[in-house]
């Protein structure tokens, strides 16, 4: 029985690795064709491009599309076994369909666990290196232009900034309010602020400061002033520091806590990323069981129709996933439910297909 388990697991794993490998080769060829001018412009050698870019490019896209190729591989494997009547032979040995699924599920757990490990601990640093290479050689330096920023720098300290550009570390129309016992005690306003890297503070232009003491109001105006405001340019930067997929699991949770401490309500994309790092690897198990239930019944037309159905279900899963994540980010859909909704729906479909599978 161990030989049979090994045979089935090896067939599934080799089909998965083969399909994924072919796609990666094609992706590298297309990507190289698109970016060749940039490599030549900076006189980059093949070894440098491989070491600093494609070593990080390959695991990112392999991990991103792993669930798709899990489904393709299990559909192809099950259909081949059914076409060659090997499924019937295995079931005639006394194995149940449940027992038949075990070696395939073992491979799925291995693939899902590998995806989980890569997503949380390996790919964040690798993606940072890839983005850094692209920013240095293939596109303009990372640009961010944030608008209508509102956040909390500490207890009773609220900041509003109409716009900020990290190209020159300049913001416009600042309003900084201080509260005590829910009462406004001061407001600092400035038409323009610019980060002073030498003094590690902000240069404020056209400054107005209002202070309330009981019913008395004191107004002070200055043409220019230097102050430490409790935030830095990194708080507005939308590049490596704040892209969820570039953060390790520990850094991601820490960043979410920091956003919540500052009163920033836009934490949904980060929670979605956090929950998706487990739900997407888990889908390898669902896809394996669904694909096996779908493909092990011998059908007219061979493998082609079954592969077509499998691809259609894969794209349906991807579309469903995109919709649910969009609703979580833009609407009121809970991030945890958004990350798991496709798995829940496909899990119900898997249960139905498993019930109807040949026993």
Mean pLDDT confidence for 183-201: 91
**Residue 296: predicted pLDDT:** 83
Q: Return the closest-CA partner of residue 335 out of 284, 255, 278.
A: 278
Q: What span, in angstroms and rounded, lies between the C-alpha atoms of 350 and 352?
A: 5
Backbone φ and ψ for 146, nearest 5 degrees, come out as -90, 140
Are the beta carbons of 151 and 262 closer than 8 angstroms? yes
pTM: 0.76
Specify the pLDDT at position 263.
65
Q: What is the mean pLDDT of residues 284-298?
A: 90
Phi/psi zone of residue 175: left (φ > 0), alpha (ψ -120 to 50 degrees), beta?
A: beta
pLDDT of 197 = 86
What is the residue-averaged pLDDT of the chain?
A: 87
Q: What is the mean pLDDT of residues 110-120?
A: 96
Q: Which range among 153-162, 260-269, 274-283 has the greatest average pLDDT?
A: 274-283
Query: In the predicted model, is pLDDT for residue 240 greater than 50?
Result: no
Sign for the pseudo-dihedral over CA of 220, 222, 226, 231: positive
Query: What spatial distance separates the first Cα and last Cα of the chain, rounded to whole Å?
Result: 18
CA distance 3 to 10: 10
pLDDT, position 262: 64
Q: Are 147 and 163 in contact (CB under 8 A)?
A: yes
Q: Tokens 């001061």 label which residue?
A: 186
């Amino acid at each position: 029985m161990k030989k049979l388990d090994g045979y089935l697991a090896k067939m599934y794993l080799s089909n998965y690795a083969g399909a994924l490998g072919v796609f990666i080769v094609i992706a590298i060829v297309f990507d190289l064709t698109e970016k060749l001018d940039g490599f030549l412009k900076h006189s980059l050698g093949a070894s440098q491009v491989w070491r600093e870019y494609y070593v990080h490019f390959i695991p990112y896209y392999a991990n991103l599309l792993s669930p798709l190729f899990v489904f393709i591989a299990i559909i192809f494997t099950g259909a081949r076994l059914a076409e060659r009547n090997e499924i019937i032979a295995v079931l005639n040995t006394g194995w149940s369909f449940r027992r038949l699924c075990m070696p395939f599920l073992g491979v799925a757990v291995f693939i899902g666990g590998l995806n989980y490990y890569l997503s949380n601990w390996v790919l964040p640093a690798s993606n940072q290196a890839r983005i850094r290479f692209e920013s240095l050689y293939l596109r303009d330096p990372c640009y961010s232009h944030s608008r209508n920023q509102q956040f909390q720098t500490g207890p009773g300290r609220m900041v509003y900034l109409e716009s900020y550009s990290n190209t020159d570390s300049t913001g416009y129309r600042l309003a900084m309010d201080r509260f005590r016992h829910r009462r406004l005690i001061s407001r600092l306003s400035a038409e323009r602020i610019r980060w002073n890297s030498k003094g590690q503070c902000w240069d404020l232009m056209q400054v107005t400061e209002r202070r309330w003491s009981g019913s008395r109001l004191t107004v002070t105006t200055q043409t220019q002033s230097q102050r430490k405001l409790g935030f830095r340019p990194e708080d507005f930067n939308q590049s490596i520091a704040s892209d969820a997929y570039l953060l390790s699991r520990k850094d991601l949770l820490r960043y979410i806590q920091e956003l919540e401490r500052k009163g920033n309500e836009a934490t949904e994309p980060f929670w979605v990323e956090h929950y998706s790092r487990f739900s997407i690897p888990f889908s390898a198990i669902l896809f394996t069981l669904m694909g096996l239930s779908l493909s092990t019944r011998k059908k007219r037309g061979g493998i082609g129709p079954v592969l077509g159905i499998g691809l259609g279900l894969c794209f349906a899963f991807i579309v469903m996933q995109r919709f649910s994540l969009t609703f979580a980010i833009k609407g009121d859909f809970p991030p945890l439910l958004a990350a798991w909704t496709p798995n829940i729906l496909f899990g119900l479909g898997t249960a139905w297909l498993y019930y109807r599978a040949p026993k």
